[in-house]
Amino acid sequence: MEQSTLTLNKIILAAVAAVLLIVIIPLAMKSKDNTVEKTEKASMTLNKLTPEEERVIIHKGTERAFTGEYEHNKEAGTYICRQCNAALYSSEDKFESGCGWPSFDDEIPGAVARKLDADGSRTEILCASCGGHLGHVFEGEHLTDKNIRHCVNSISMKFIPKGQEVTTEKAYFAGGCFWGTEHLLKRFPGVVSTRVGYMNGHTKNPTYKQVCEGNTGHAEANEIVFDPTKTSYEDLAKYFFEIHDPTQVNRQGPDIGEQYRSAVFYTDEKQKQIAEKLVDQLKAKGYKVATELAKADTFYEAEQYHQDYYTYTGKEPYCHVYQKRF
């Protein structure tokens, strides 16, 4: 599909969704038990915060310079989100900047979202999984070869020494516009981080424009890193089948084209068998499942502006809603 047509479709749908929301929200507000709230909030397990942690992480405060516990920490390990445990930074990317806060010149792929700060000039950084405030990111200071400084509040993170990190697994799903599926999948308990990208096509390093033109064979896909001690691949895959419509062929709602097909790209035989079992269960319930099951090929990460699209833009997804199917 042409990008312009796609954009137009999205705008029209967003407008329709906005009108619906104006009607629906006042009704939903009356009931604490509405599905939207359940899917958006209750499905993510967050750690309880102290008042000082809350001041920084929720209310976007800043801890006093030179006071944080990790400023000079040189131990090898991983820095995770204080609020949701998502892995954010590796000690390998930490450097001494002298600025008074822990500094990193790189992030764990997909773990950190960026947003124009309320002050209108700086770039705020947030945990891509829970939206917790981390600090700010600066470029062009020439402090390291990468020329980037993530200036992070110690209190927004928790340090896990090397060897004590949780071993994670990956899952790959495609179910229409990857903005919407990512927005919902990253809220699932046990999901550590997510990225959007292009998979299982026949060209190398595709761009969004090429994929939208529909000739590369790629699907808009999500890479999900999850903690197998908190969730299983089966529970995650079930949830995937419930946040998109697996009966639609080469489309998902308003988005039409092979790149919007429903697919599970399995990484091993175990994932394949689970996906087959779930498809069989859905078929037994009468769903004409169109989901492609295929071995995961190369995952090409999409352009930065597609990552955590809804967190970054503050918009709400129009294309995916949770519907119980199992």
Q: Which of 68, 102, 132, 206 binds Zn ion (CB under 5 A)?
A: 132
Q: How many residues bind Zn ion (CB under 5 A)?
A: 8
Q: Is 212 in the active site?
A: no
Question: Residue 194, CB half-sphere, CA atoms under 13 Å: how many?
Answer: 29
Q: Which of 81, 177, 212, 319 is catalytic?
A: 177
Calculate helix-pair angle for 233-243, 178-185, nearest 10 degrees.
130
| Span of 86-94, 117-125, 183-191, 192-200 interacting with Zn ion by CB under 5 A | 86-94
The answer to whether residue 81 is catalytic is no
Residue numbers 139-178 binding Zn ion by CB under 5 A:
none
Q: Which of 44, 84, 87, 126 binds Zn ion (CB under 5 A)?
A: 84
249 neighbors 290 (Cβ within 8 angstroms):
yes
Residue 81 touches Zn ion, criterion: CB under 5 A: yes
* Residue type present at position 99: C
Q: What φ, ψ does residue 103 adopt, rounded to 5°?
A: -125, 140
**Minimum Å distance from CB 82 to Zn ion?**
8
The residue range among 33-41, 64-72, 81-89, 187-195 that interacts with Zn ion, by the rule CB under 5 A, is 81-89
What x/- string results for residues 92 through 131 when contact with Zn ion is judged by CB under 5 A? -----------------------------------x-xx-
* Smallest separation (angstroms) from Zn ion to the CB of 204: 33
Among residues 187, 188, 252, the alpha carbon closest in space to that of 221 is found at 252
Say how far apart CA 120 and CA 86 lie, in whole Å.
27
For residue 135, state whether it binds Zn ion (rule: CB under 5 A).
Answer: no
String of DSSP letters for 266-306 = ESSHHHHHHHHHHHHHHHHTT-----EEEE---EEEPPGGG
Two structure tokens written together for 125 = 């950084």
Judged by the rule CB under 5 A, the positions of this chain that interact with Zn ion are 81, 83-84, 86, 127, 129-130, 132
Residues with active-site annotation: 151, 177
